């Protein structure tokens, strides 16, 4: 989380050591320093915490370095396209994820230790929108002759198709709905995900040569056995389309008690155009926030035919509401209940604040007890009470029972899979098991990703798709699946960067003899160690005193008030402009990678640290050390803002 606001306006002054500090805190620290005091600098590449926190494994530091102008594209490519290409190595939906990802990367950002996180999502949104506006496309790899079926065209399935086409494998997407995008299309309202931009990002993947079979459900319209025969491998990305019912008396079979996923699907398919007068949603996560925000926007009509009640439109296949009914819509009273108190709710803090501004009543620390039924069998209210939480178990507080009146009750407390016709994959809990390579255990050639393993974020499914695609590629080549790195993300490769710049090391000639002690041979990258696959760098390894207080460039939001919300479907997040985007990227502290500040060169008392000659330098190879001059004083390490320099040579 960001540093509290009362601290951000102070003049910040970070120091490694306070005045008067002359003794080490413990004998172990003293031994460690004594052991390294004579050593010389080595350049250590580590993974930044933003990337380590990102479920899709974005090389965030890398594309922020491009946006800020530090890392330059080769040839005539614009910096925007170069950054877009780097970002989409892991995530082919930057415009979408820049808008709706809850951004665990920002929670993990080391800049929080200075004043506030870097607005990573806002930069990503800019790059995604730029790519759409300028018609940037993806390229497919050379044809491998292998065919892969992907069942489900949500974010995970589409991302897997993208990665597999880059590898050259033919891909066919099976999708039960008539549109692509899964939960991005059917589970998130258009004012959060603009449909034109969703269409563009999906189409860019289809244009890579992906075949689609829409309105085709495997297990119902096409037998699973037929898919197995037609394709060399299958990826199951079917998601979780069924909402969990409320486990209280009166819920089961009550017509105006519905699931959050079905509610949002009916809205996003434009079948439900109005809702009920009094809506109660049980949840506390992002889905429940979308439900109550949509309900406030739709409103209700005072006199409604029984056949036009909202729960009728929510049932798949029902004829949609007539558009004319929206003209008579009035505001709806909408209440959200959550077992957890507000600061422990799963929804993002700003989403909760927006819902409150829009006029939603939030009752936190409240548990449902019973659905109250009328004489006609319809729900008339929800009986609740206050509660405390012991882990994930609610404990009722006696004497706090009351009834919230309701005409529609929506449960958004979780989702489950629908594996009808796919019994061979069902693990008995309505889900599909997976190993660490995203293989289905005991079923060679079958792989699985996304919510059907365990419901989580959209970007989680995208990250799983990338690893799964590598597993599928190795399987199709008959290779044994290799060990995954401890920090399993899309790592920056210095060798790839050197090749891009034409600076790759020369081939090693064994006839040259044993040159393990050389510092000048051209066949090696000297004085560099890549620990990014095993270590995430902490703020404690940075020199935070280098970074001045710099306010975040914040995207404006169009959040309606309670009086304005009815019928308000304008896009909520307004993108940053180019100058703001660059300024925000410059706030990145480049944790674990040199960002060319020159501190080590300026402060070295022996002139031992020097810039690599122009034309021979690149990202990650900006400075080097003359070890005939270095005396192991540690100053370069102490003033390195990014933690890139560590004392490791000199044995």
pLDDT at 651: 46
pLDDT at 32: 61
Return the half-sphere exposure (C-beta side, CA atoms, 13 A cut-off) of residue 506. 8
Cα 17 vs. chain centroid, distance in angstroms? 37
CA distance 277 to 259: 18
Query: For 550-604, what is each residue's pLDDT tens digit?
Result: 999 999 999 999 999 999 999 999 999 999 999 999 999 999 999 999 999 999 9
Q: Who's near 55: CB < 8 A, 6+ residues apart? A: 104, 456, 457, 459, 460, 462, 463
Query: Which among 368, 383, 411, 427 has a CA at the least distance from the CA of 244?
Result: 411
List the Cα angle 236/317/177 in 5-degree steps. 25
Residue ranges, the chain, pLDDT below 70: 1-18, 20, 22, 30-38, 316-321, 323-325, 512-519, 649-651
pLDDT at 11: 53
Cα-based distances in Å from 476 to 166, 227, 448: 15, 16, 16
* For the chain, domain boundaries: 5-134+491-649, 147-241+417-476, 244-415
CA distance 10 to 194: 39
Asked, colleague to colleague, whether 147-241+417-476 and 244-415 share their fold, the answer is: yes
The full DSSP string for 341-366 is -GGG-SS-HHHHHHHHHTT-EEEESE
CA distance 518 to 623: 18
Q: Tokens in use for 224? A: 């699973």
List the Cα angle 279/281/287 in 5-degree steps. 125
Highest CATH level, class, for 147-241+417-476: alpha beta
Cα 422 vs. chain centroid, distance in angstroms? 29
Whether the Cβ atoms of residue 44 and residue 648 lie closer than 8 Å to each other: yes
A 10 A CB-CB count for 180 gives 24
CA 602, 606, 608, 613 torsion-angle sign: positive
Whether the Cβ atoms of residue 156 and residue 97 lie closer than 8 Å to each other: no
pTM of the model: 0.91
Query: For 242-270, what is each residue's pLDDT tens digit?
Result: 889 999 999 999 999 999 999 999 999 99
pLDDT at 521: 75
pLDDT at 255: 94
Architecture of 244-415 per CATH?
3-Layer(bba) Sandwich (3.50)
């Amino acid at each position: 989380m960001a540093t509290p606001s009362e601290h951000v306006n102070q003049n910040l002054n970070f120091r490694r050591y306070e005045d008067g500090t002359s003794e080490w805190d413990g004998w172990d620290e003293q031994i460690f320093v004594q052991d390294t005091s004579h050593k010389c600098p080595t350049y250590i590449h580590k993974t930044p915490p933003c990337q380590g926190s990102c479920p899709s494994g974005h090389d965030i530091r890398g594309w922020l370095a491009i946006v800020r102008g530090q890392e330059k594209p080769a040839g005539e490519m614009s910096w925007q396209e170069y950054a877009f290409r780097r970002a989409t190595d892991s995530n082919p939906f930057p415009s979408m994820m820049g808008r709706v990802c809850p951004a665990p990367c920002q929670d993990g950002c080391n800049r929080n230790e200075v004043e506030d996180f870097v607005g990573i999502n806002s930069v990503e949104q800019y790059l995604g929108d730029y790519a759409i506006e300028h018609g940037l496309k993806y390229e497919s790899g050379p044809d491998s002759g292998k065919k892969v079926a992907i069942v489900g065209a949500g974010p995970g399935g589409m991302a897997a198709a993208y990665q597999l086409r880059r590898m050259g494998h033919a891909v066919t997407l099976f999708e039960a709905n008539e549109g692509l995008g899964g939960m991005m299309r059917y589970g998130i309202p258009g004012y959060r995900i603009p449909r034109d931009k969703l269409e563009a990002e999906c189409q860019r993947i289809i244009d890579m040569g992906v075949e689609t079979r829409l309105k085709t459900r495997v297990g119902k319209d096409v037998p699973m056995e037929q898919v197995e025969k037609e394709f060399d491998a299958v990826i199951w990305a079917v998601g979780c389309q069924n909402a969990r019912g409320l486990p209280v008396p009166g819920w089961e079979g009550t017509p105006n008690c519905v699931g959050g996923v079905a509610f949002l699907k009916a809205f996003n398919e434009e079948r439900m155009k109005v809702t009920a007068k009094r809506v109660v949603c049980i949840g506390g996560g992002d889905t429940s926030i979308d439900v109550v925000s949509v309900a406030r926007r739709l409103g209700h009509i005072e006199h409604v035919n029984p056949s036009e009640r909202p729960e009728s439109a929510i049932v798949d296949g029902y004829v949609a509401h007539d558009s004319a009914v929206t003209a008579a819509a009035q505001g709806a009273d909408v209440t959200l209940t959550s077992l957890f108190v507000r600061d422990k709710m799963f929804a993002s803090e700003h989403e909760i604040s927006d819902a409150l501004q829009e006029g939603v009543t939030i009752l936190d620390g409240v548990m449902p007890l019973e659905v109250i039924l009328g004489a006609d069998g319809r729900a008339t209210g929800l009986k609740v009470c206050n509660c405390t939480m012991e882990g994930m178990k609610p404990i009722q507080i006696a004497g706090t029972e009351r009834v919230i009146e309701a005409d529609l009750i929506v449960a958004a407390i979780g989702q489950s899979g629908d594996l009808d016709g796919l019994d061979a994959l069902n693990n008995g809990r309505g889900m599909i098991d997976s190993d660490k390579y995203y293989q289905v255990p005991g079923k060679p050639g079958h792989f699985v990703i996304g919510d059907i393993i365990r419901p989580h974020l959209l970007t989680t499914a995208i990250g799983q798709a990338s690893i799964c695609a590598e597993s599928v590629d190795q399987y199709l080549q008959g290779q044994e699946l290799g060990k995954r790195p401890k920090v399993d993300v899309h790592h920056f490769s210095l060798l790839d960067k050197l090749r891009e710049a034409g600076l790759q090391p020369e081939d090693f000639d064994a006839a040259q003899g044993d040159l393990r002690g050389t510092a000048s041979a051209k066949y090696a990258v000297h004085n560099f160690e890549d620990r990014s696959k095993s270590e995430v760098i902490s703020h404690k390894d940075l020199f935070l005193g280098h970074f001045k207080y710099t306010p975040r460039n914040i995207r404006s939001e169009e959040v309606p008030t309670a009086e304005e919300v009815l019928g308000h479907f304008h896009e909520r997040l307004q993108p940053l402009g180019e100058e703001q985007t660059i300024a925000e990227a410059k706030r990145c502290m480049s944790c674990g990678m040199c960002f060319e500040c020159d501190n080590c060169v300026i402060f070295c008392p022996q002139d031992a640290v020097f810039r690599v000659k122009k034309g021979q330098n690149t990202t990650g190879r900006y400075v080097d050390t003359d070890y005939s001059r270095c005396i192991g004083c540690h100053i370069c390490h102490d003033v390195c803002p990014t933690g890139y320099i560590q004392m490791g040579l000199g044995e």
